[in-house]
Amino acid sequence: MAINYETDTISAVATPFGTGAIGIIRMSGDKSFEICEKIFSKKLIPSKIMYGTITDEGEMIDEAVVLPYKAPTGYTGEDAVEIQCHGGINIVRKILQLTYKYGARPAEKGEFTKRAFLNGKMDLSKAEAVADVIHAKTTKFAVKSASNLAGKLSQKISEIYQLLFDLLSEIIAAVDFPEDVAEPEYSYLEEKLKDIIAEIEKVSAFSKSSDVLRQGVKVAIVGKPNVGKSSLFNVLLNFERAIVTDTAGTTRDAIREMLDIDGIPVTIIDTAGLRDETSADKIEIIGMDFTKKCIDESDAVLFLFDSQTGMTKEDEDILKLTDGKPVLKVATKFDLSGKTYGGSINISSVSGENIERLKTEIKNLVCENLDEETEFITNERQQNCLNKALESCKTALDGVLRQELQDLISIDVKTALLQLGEIKGELVTDDILNNIFDHFCIGK
Ligand SMILES: Nc1nc2c(ncn2[C@@H]2O[C@H](COP(=O)(O)OP(=O)(O)OP(=O)(O)O)[C@@H](O)[C@H]2O)c(=O)[nH]1
Ligand SMILES: [Mg+2]
């Protein structure tokens, strides 16, 4: 059967697969009601929550609550049905199969949200925010995404769009009707364009924070064998993730876990201890190679040395490997030595000394420029559009300063306008759309 992206009735499980209290199967498209009525015991009444049974050719499958939406009321803006059943994976799968059997096709990733966008139920930046909320790794990111969903980003973009739109109208009016409308003064255009540039720059300034919040950062723990890397790793994570022994060379693989430090997703990497390769066995040598790669791929490094011995020649050599990376020096096992070292954070994984402070220092190190006041987050596509819009505005401003013909200046202003429109999806190609909706999970 040929796929028709716009008109097929689509169906997917909207809750995570697995055993939960309830499972939801969602259908959208013209045939949703018809298909649902083939398996549900009652005739559907739009917007009414209905309780009944799901059967297939006389065989009882489950009891269910059904929510029928007539276009344009539901999430997608089409006729749609949500079937809530008991959450066992077999029941959910069975009902999903039945919707296929009677004419729905499996929804592609993000297809429900794509339809909502195509039917004008939300603009593009909101649709992208849906994906962000679903995939958010930390609460803070989820909250910011949710505020995008509430339209914060699109509202700000609309404001800037309107300023540019007004400016363009003024220029074009004078170009097209020179007898009736006076050309705006160049000094006026300069002032307006500078304001607009400042506004766009403000929004783009949040992009760095967005990247940190979205993708998180990687921090590697490195040091000699036995300095206490795995112990620190476990204490940071608050559970016994890595094996700890007093044998040098315990950790051989790099182990990664995610930690939420104040809303920033930090991937902590515990590595194999680095030592002179002649005294290490074959597996350890491979592990150390790994460690060097981990340093390379990390955004920052925690360099550990044992406070009982202080920095030795070997430690100095290891520290050199971290050249060029932001590094925090950490003196370990304070509970054993009682010694502190300036320029280092003095910790103990046994007594918990300074562990919270270390977390704060990690946060400060990786997010030096992280703006706590970040109002909204932007993704790569949006940042691209913003940058292009900014470029065009700057070219227009150059033109103004050189007092070029306003007809020519209007071309750059218009380009900037189109770029801003793209953020909200006012001028989007299928390519961009498919790219965006590919990032969704099915069922959304
Ligand atoms: N008293 C005390 N002992 C510690 C502390 N941190 C680590 N140790 C001990 O030091 C030994 C080595 O700790 P690990 O965490 O396995 O050291 P590592 O750096 O991961 O070692 P490798 O994996 O071999 O490179 C273990 O016996 C730990 O119990 C600490 O803060 N205080
Ligand atoms: Mg270890």
* pLDDT, tens only, 80-92: 999 999 877 888 9
Mutation probe of ligand 1 site: the residue of 230, 270, 290 with most atoms within 8 A of C-beta? 230
Q: How confident is the model at residue 369 (pLDDT cuts 50, 70, 90)?
A: very low
Sheet-wide strand order for 300-306: 255-261, 264-270, 217-223, 300-306, 327-332, 345-346
Residue nearest to atom 23 of ligand 1 (CA): 251
Ligand 1: distance of its center to the CA of 120 in Å? 58
Mutation probe of ligand 1 site: the residue of 221, 232, 241, 244 with most atoms within 8 A of C-beta? 244
Predicted confidence (pLDDT) per residue in 254-284, tens digit: 888 888 887 778 889 998 877 766 666 666 6
Residue 130: pLDDT above 70? Answer: yes
Ligand 1: distance of its center to the CA of 349 in Å? 8
Residue 323: pLDDT above 70? Answer: yes
Residue 117: pLDDT above 90? Answer: no
Residue 360: pLDDT above 50? Answer: yes
Ligand 2: distance of its center to the CA of 366 in Å? 23
| % of the chain at pLDDT higher than 90 | 41
Q: Identify which has the larger pLDDT, 213 or 184.
A: 184
Residue 285: pLDDT above 70? Answer: no
Is the pTM of the predicted complex or chain greater than 0.85? Answer: no
Q: If you write DSSP's letter for every residue of 216-250 in order, what string do you get?
A: -EEEEEEESTTSSHHHHHHHHHTS--S---SSTT-
Taking residues 145-156, report their average pLDDT: 73
User: DSSP letter at 278?
Assistant: G
Residue 140: pLDDT above 70? Answer: no
* Most confident range, picked from 8-22, 91-105, 175-189: 91-105
Q: Identify which has the larger pLDDT, 355 or 127.
A: 355
98-112, 256-270, 306-320, 361-375, range with the lowest pLDDT: 361-375
The pair of three-digit structure tokens given for residue 212, joined into one six-digit string: 């940190």
Residues flanking ligand 1, CB < 6 Å: 223, 225-231, 244-246, 248-251, 272-273, 332-333, 335-336, 348-350
Residue nearest to atom 27 of ligand 1 (CA): 246
Q: What are the structural domains of the chain?
A: 10-122 (3.30.1360.120), 130-206+376-425 (1.20.120.430), 213-366 (3.40.50.300)
In terms of residues, how long is the chain?
444
Ligand 1: distance of its center to the CA of 10 in Å? 55
| % of the chain at pLDDT higher than 70 | 82
92-101, 154-163, 399-408, range with the lowest pLDDT: 154-163
Nearest in space to 331 (alpha carbons), one of 307, 297, 362, 314:
307
Work out which ligand 1 atom sits closest to the CA atom of 233. 15
Taking residues 157-186, report their average pLDDT: 87
Tell me which ligand sits closest to the C-alpha of residue 228.
1
Q: Which long-range contacts (CB under 8 A, 24 or more apart) does 402-408 make?
A: 403/186, 406/171, 406/174, 406/175, 406/183, 406/184, 406/189, 407/175
